[in-house]
Amino acid sequence: MSKQIPQTLKGFRDFLPPEMVLRNYIKNIFVEVFEQFGYQPLETPTLEYASTLLGKYGEDADRLVYTFNDRGDRKVGLRYDLTVPVSKVLSIYQNDIQLPFKQYQIQLVWRADKPQKGRYREFIQCEADTFGSSSPTSDAEYVALIYQILKKIGFSKFIVKINSRQVLFELISKSGLEKDKFTVLQSVDKLDKIGWDGVKNELVFKSIPNSKIDQLFEYIKQAQPDSYLQQLLDCLPSLGVPKDYYQFDSSMVRGLDYYTGPIFEVYITQGNMGAVCGGGRFDKLISQLGGPDIPATGIAFGFDRLIDVIKQLNLLPQLPSTTTKILVANFGQEYLSESLKLTSSLRQQNINTTFYPDPDKLGKQFKYASSMGIPYVAILGDEEIKQNKITIKNMDTRDQQLLSFEELVKSLS
């Protein structure tokens, strides 16, 4: 029998510790800013009934939902996004949740998409939503949230594009295309990829008359914010968002069918990765899932695409390759008890500490600490135990110091 060659599925990835240091750093920024804005953490299951997921996004997106029959012959699916699952939560736990409810999720989602640059089959979304408010201030807060997160990460050039499904629906109605509105929006959503001519050709293929297409395009190019959207835009200066970081874009659609009002897309203008964040108002989704009429709005960042842009623009912060601060060396069985006590005591002082498990030569243990990026090594031998002190080796400078436990804790804190 031939030996199996291990592989990772296409569109899926493994992340080794140095990569995880960066990912955890960025993830912590999301948690910090979400909680500064008053959002509470929430998690939803990996699997949902397929009926919960399908029919909410539109035909194109539905084809990308991973579905299968489980062992109980139930039709289930991997979550495609975080918006539908959290809307399901609101429909189930409506009596246990105080409105307005602000929540955030940082979880994996799956899409049976064609893998390419910035597009994966398994990736993380960082989502924040507000339920129970119909105020434009709730929508406006998301532009401020986007601004704070991207600034804190280190981006200086980005733009939040803002439009409204209500504006688009009105333009479609004026063009006499009301019955075709979702199929029209699906084509217009491709404008940045295939241009006006490409969209027109697609609409012609869908049997939309040329005259109505031309009229719709003219309306889109001349469109202005409606009163609700204007109220949203008027809030942004007071929320501390400079005008250079947002713009009204009447041609921006967002492809998913559940959007009902203001919509957002965010682009890093220094890179060429496409949108790193999107969202909008989805007032009818909870009732569509069998719950009450609860207004809702929110955004989701594509975490992995954001990481790709950080790397592309060389915005990597100077992060240690490990969060471990010190390695306690292993001098053998004779010193094991004292070395383990030191390891435990350092951990109790909230100092990230690892113990070298085998009594190897000290040089090998030093080499291991250097290769792992651990900045200090603690050594306990006869002299140290006799003096109730610890020898500390700085792996950068190669200097050594004899310190008391209290002095060591102070130097590492």
CATH number at residue 103: 3.30.930.10
The string of pLDDT tens digits covering residues 229-288 is: 999 999 999 999 999 999 999 999 987 889 999 999 999 998 677 899 999 999 999 999
Domain with 114 in it: 17-312
The answer to whether the CB of 226 falls within 8 A of the CB of 131 is: no
Token output for 158:
């980005």
The string of pLDDT tens digits covering residues 54-97 is: 999 988 899 999 999 999 999 999 999 999 999 999 999 989 99
The string of pLDDT tens digits covering residues 379-407 is: 999 999 999 999 999 999 999 999 999 99
Phi/psi at 274 (5° precision):
85, -170
Same domain? 40 vs 177: yes
Cα–Cα distance, 22 to 354 (Å, whole number): 21
Cα–Cα distance, 324 to 233 (Å, whole number): 46
- pLDDT value at residue 316: 84
> Quick one: average pLDDT of 319-333?
93
- pTM confidence score: 0.89
The string of pLDDT tens digits covering residues 138-191 is: 999 999 999 999 999 999 999 999 999 999 999 999 898 888 888 888 888 888
Rounded to the nearest 10°, the torsion over CA 196, 201, 205, 211 is 70
Rounded to the nearest 10°, the torsion over CA 249, 253, 254, 258 is 130
Q: Tokens 């199996």 identify what position? A: 4
Q: Give CA 204 to chain center in angstroms.
A: 37
320: in domain: no
Cα–Cα distance, 34 to 41 (Å, whole number): 9
Cα–Cα distance, 243 to 229 (Å, whole number): 15
Phi/psi at 290 (5° precision):
95, 5
- pLDDT value at residue 108: 98
4: in domain: no
Same domain? 286 vs 336: no
Q: Which regions of 192-347 does DSSP assign to beta strands (E)?
A: 246-248, 262-268, 275-281, 296-302, 326-328
Of 254, 283, 312, the domain-final residue? 312
pLDDT confidence tier of residue 411, bands split at 50, 70 and 90? very high
pLDDT confidence tier of residue 1, bands split at 50, 70 and 90? low
Could you tell me the maximum CA-CA distance found in the chain, to the nearest angstrom? 94
Q: Tokens 């592989």 identify what position? A: 7
Cα–Cα distance, 131 to 216 (Å, whole number): 33
Same domain? 203 vs 337: no
Same domain? 74 vs 187: yes
Cα–Cα distance, 60 to 77 (Å, whole number): 16
pLDDT confidence tier of residue 193, bands split at 50, 70 and 90? confident
Of 278, 312, 346, the domain-final residue? 312
> Can you give the length of the chain in residues?
413
Of 270, 289, 312, the domain-final residue? 312
The string of pLDDT tens digits covering residues 104-136 is: 999 999 999 998 888 899 999 999 999 999 999
State the CATH number of the domain containing residue 399: 3.40.50.800
Cα–Cα distance, 369 to 392 (Å, whole number): 13
- pLDDT value at residue 318: 86
> Quick one: average pLDDT of 29-57?
97
